[in-house]
Amino acid sequence: MENFITQCKKYNLRITPQRTAVYKALMEDKTHPTADAVYQNVKKDCPNISLDTVNRTLISFSEFGIIDTVMCSGQGKKYDPNSKPHHHLKCVKCGKISDFYHQKYDSLKVPSEVEEEFTVLNKKVVLTVVCKKCNKKG
Ligand SMILES: [Zn+2]
Ligand SMILES: [Zn+2]
């Protein structure tokens, strides 16, 4: 929560109860939820909040780099509260995304032809996997 307050001050974002609730709900959810899933959680604390507000709040957080987004084919945008350098394991069957840490990946070298043309903001390695649960189902 401290991190959130520092970030809001840095970007001159007003700390409203709704923004705080959205952030809190996202931090408590490690599954990289969609806006709709965040909304379902926020609603428990703020019954009056609308999906639209949650959506807009999440978008502004991600624009300021307070949170990260993950694009998932077919499932829309998912939000990632983990601001530490980390990588993803994505299950092809259930679509679940989990975090993993690997220092060697953090320091992956960006090819010079990419660096010449683009400003690299973030490096994330995504491993496409079949998770334990789905493996069991066969
Ligand atoms: Zn799975
Ligand atoms: Zn993540």
pLDDT in tens, 47-56: 999 999 999 9
For the chain, the structural domain boundaries read 2-80, 87-137
Ligand 1 mean position, distance from CA 110 (Å): 30
The ligand that comes nearest to the alpha carbon of residue 31 is 2
The ligand that comes nearest to the alpha carbon of residue 125 is 2
DSSP SS3 for 5: helix
Ligand 2 mean position, distance from CA 99 (Å): 5
pLDDT score for 73: 66
Pick the CATH number of 2-80 from 3.40.50.620, 1.10.10.10, 3.30.70.260, 3.40.50.2020: 1.10.10.10
Q: What mean pLDDT is reported for the chain?
A: 91
Band (22; pLDDT cuts 50, 70, 90)? very high
Band (16; pLDDT cuts 50, 70, 90)? very high
The ligand that comes nearest to the alpha carbon of residue 90 is 1
pLDDT score for 74: 66
The ligand that comes nearest to the alpha carbon of residue 29 is 2
87-137 belongs to which homologous superfamily? Ferric-uptake regulator, C-terminal dimerisarion domain (3.30.1490.190)
Side-chain half-sphere exposure of 112, counting CA atoms within 13 A: 0
Q: Is this prediction's pTM over 0.85?
A: no
Ligand 1 mean position, distance from CA 37 (Å): 18
